[in-house]
Amino acid sequence: MDARTFAPGVDRTEVVEMSEQVVRMLLHVRQAFVRLDPASFEEARRLGRAVHLHGHALIDRLVSRTASRGAGVVEVDQDEVFIPMHLGRIADNIELLGLAIDRMVREGTPFTDRANREVRHLFDGVLEMLEGLRDALRTGNRTLVRYIQDAGKSCEAQANEYALFHEQRLIEGVCQPRSSSIYLAMLDHLKGVEWHARQVAEKLQPPIHIDGYS
């Protein structure tokens, strides 16, 4: 593969499966937002539990393997738990995003047309990132890794810009205060997803070799 290989003990098949599950989680949560139907969120929750089970199993296996090497002291290389740990945090942010949508629907909190367009645009950008991350984990393609890093920065900047737009709408009285906290929470959770995806992409970068040293 072009990019950095997985650390010893991290099972590629399980990690790819976790990445596929977070993609499907976000698709279900996006559907809940578009259709204003929180029923889609239940499947996202089920997938989130599966992501955490996979992640915990991987980390437990790494700890057991390391413990068997020496007596008493257990040390686990952070690189070995990095990917499943951040995939778990992605699942957490998607679940929090779903909870915000659930609250929006239950309370009948209206979003302006512009706010709806902004959230959908971020959903689409973050979804493309997660799909790219899944494919990068499967193939190790270096171009995909760079795309995730660049797209993540773009999504973060866009979310920050939307937050400023929202603040102006609030000042002008276009946006209702009771919808403000939900809207801003959704932006934060989408930013959380892209940030953790970028951290995984960063770890997938191949080591740099200079004058024979890595």
Q: Which two tokens mark 16?
A: 């790819």
Between CA 28 and CA 76 the distance in angstroms is 34
Q: Using alpha carbons only, give the angle 173, 179, 180 rounded to the nearest 5 degrees.
A: 70
Q: b/e for 144-170, b at 16 or more Cβ within 10 A?
A: bbebbbebbeebbebbeebeeebeebb
* pTM score: 0.86
Model pLDDT, residue 122: 97
User: What is the reported pLDDT for 57?
Assistant: 85
- The pLDDT of residue 61 is 78
Across the chain, which has 214 residues, the per-10-residue mean pLDDT values are 49 87 96 89 90 85 64 50 90 96 90 93 97 94 94 96 92 86 96 96 66 36
pLDDT at 81: 72
Dist CA 153 CA 1 (whole Å): 25
pLDDT for the residue 6: 52
Predicted pLDDT of residue 71: 47
Provide the pLDDT for residue 42: 87
CATH superfamily assigned to domain 12-204: Phosphate transport system protein phou homolog 2; domain 2 (1.20.58.220)
Structure confidence at residue 14 (pLDDT): 85
User: In the prediction, which pLDDT does 190 show?
Assistant: 98
Question: Residue 177: exposed, middle, or buried by beta-carbon count in 10 A (0-12, 13-18, 19+)?
Answer: exposed
pLDDT at 214: 35
Given a contact cutoff of 8 angstroms between Cβ atoms, the answer to whether 172 and 73 are in contact is no
Using alpha carbons, list the distances in angstroms from residue 70 to 60, 73, 79, 115, 150. 16, 7, 19, 56, 42
What is the model's pLDDT at position 60?
Answer: 80
**Which residues, listed in sequence order, are joined to residue 210 by a DSSP beta bridge?**
213
